[in-house]
Amino acid sequence: MKTDFHTAENSDSVRSVIRALGLLTALGKEGRSLTELARAVGISPSTASRLLNTLQGQGFIANNEENKYVPGLALTSLLYSTDQWAPLRQVARAATAALRAELNETVAFFVRTACDRLCIESSESEQVVRRICQPGERRTIFRGAAGKALLAFGEDKNPWADLFGTDDRFEMATGSVRTVAELAKECDEIRRQGYAFSRQESTLESWAVAAPVYIDGKLVGVLTTVVPLTRFSEAGLAQVIKATSDVANRYSNQSHVERKRKNGRPKATVGAR
Assess whether 118 and 30 both reside in one domain: no
Answer yes or no: are the C-beta atoms of 121 and 108 closer than 8 Å: yes
- CATH, residue 195: 3.30.450.40
* pLDDT above 60: residue 16: yes
- Residue 114, classed as helix, strand or coil, is coil
Assess whether 57 and 146 both reside in one domain: no
> Per-residue confidence at 86, pLDDT binned at 50, 70, 90?
confident
Assess whether 194 and 145 both reside in one domain: yes
For residues 39-54, give the mean pLDDT: 93
* pLDDT above 60: residue 4: no
Q: What is the pLDDT of residue 80?
A: 66
List the Cα angle 234/236/238 in 5-degree steps: 70
For residues 108-136, give the mean pLDDT: 93
Q: Rounded distance, CA 225 to CA 123, Å? A: 10
In a domain, 177, yes or no: yes
Q: What is the total count of domains within the chain?
A: 2
Q: Rounded distance, CA 174 to CA 11, Å? A: 44
Among residues 213, 207, 209, the alpha carbon closest in space to that of 254 is found at 213
Among residues 166, 180, 229, the alpha carbon closest in space to that of 203 is found at 229
Assess whether 138 and 253 both reside in one domain: yes
> Per-residue confidence at 215, pLDDT binned at 50, 70, 90?
very high
Q: Which of 52, 80, 108 is the last residue of a domain?
A: 80
In a domain, 1, yes or no: no
In a domain, 269, yes or no: no
At 154-180, the pLDDT tens digits run 998 889 999 999 999 999 999 999 999
DSSP state letter for 217: T
Assess whether 178 and 235 both reside in one domain: yes
Assess whether 76 and 104 both reside in one domain: no
In a domain, 31, yes or no: yes
Among residues 61, 66, 91, the alpha carbon closest in space to that of 76 is found at 61
Give, for 151, the enclosing helix (H) or strand (E): helix 145-153
* pLDDT above 60: residue 227: yes
Q: What is the pLDDT of residue 10?
A: 55
In a domain, 216, yes or no: yes
Assess whether 45 and 125 both reside in one domain: no
Q: Rounded distance, CA 61 to CA 244, Å? A: 36
Q: What is the pLDDT of residue 216?
A: 87
For residues 27-37, give the mean pLDDT: 86
* pLDDT above 90: residue 107: yes
> Per-residue confidence at 273, pLDDT binned at 50, 70, 90?
very low
pTM above 0.75, yes or no: no
Q: Rounded distance, CA 220 to CA 110, Å? A: 9
Q: Rounded distance, CA 155 to CA 201, Å? A: 24
Assess whether 162 and 235 both reside in one domain: yes
Q: Rounded distance, CA 206 to CA 200, Å? A: 6
- Residue 220, classed as helix, strand or coil, is strand
Lowest-pLDDT range, 26-30, 66-70, 98-102, 241-245? 26-30
Q: Which of 80, 95, 121 is the last residue of a domain?
A: 80
Answer yes or no: are the C-beta atoms of 116 and 146 closer than 8 Å: no
Question: Which residue has better confidence, 67 or 240?
Answer: 240
Report CA Rg, the chain. 21
Q: Rounded distance, CA 46 to CA 49, Å? A: 5
Lowest-pLDDT range, 30-44, 98-112, 177-191, 248-262? 248-262
For residues 239-260, give the mean pLDDT: 80
Assess whether 142 and 191 both reside in one domain: yes
- Residue 264, classed as helix, strand or coil, is coil
Answer yes or no: are the C-beta atoms of 120 and 88 closer than 8 Å: yes
Q: What is the pLDDT of residue 165?
A: 92
Q: What is the pLDDT of residue 13?
A: 82
Domain that holds residue 70: 12-80
- CATH, residue 31: 1.10.10.10
* pLDDT above 90: residue 75: no
Q: Rounded distance, CA 245 to CA 213, Å? A: 9
Q: Which of 32, 57, 80 is the last residue of a domain?
A: 80
- Residue 228, classed as helix, strand or coil, is strand
Q: What percentage of residues in the chain have a pLDDT greater than 70?
A: 87
Q: Rounded distance, CA 74 to CA 91, Å? A: 24
Among residues 79, 212, 206, the alpha carbon closest in space to that of 143 is found at 206
- Residue 94, classed as helix, strand or coil, is helix
In a domain, 268, yes or no: no
For residues 249-264, give the mean pLDDT: 60
Assess whether 18 and 117 both reside in one domain: no
For residues 127-141, give the mean pLDDT: 91
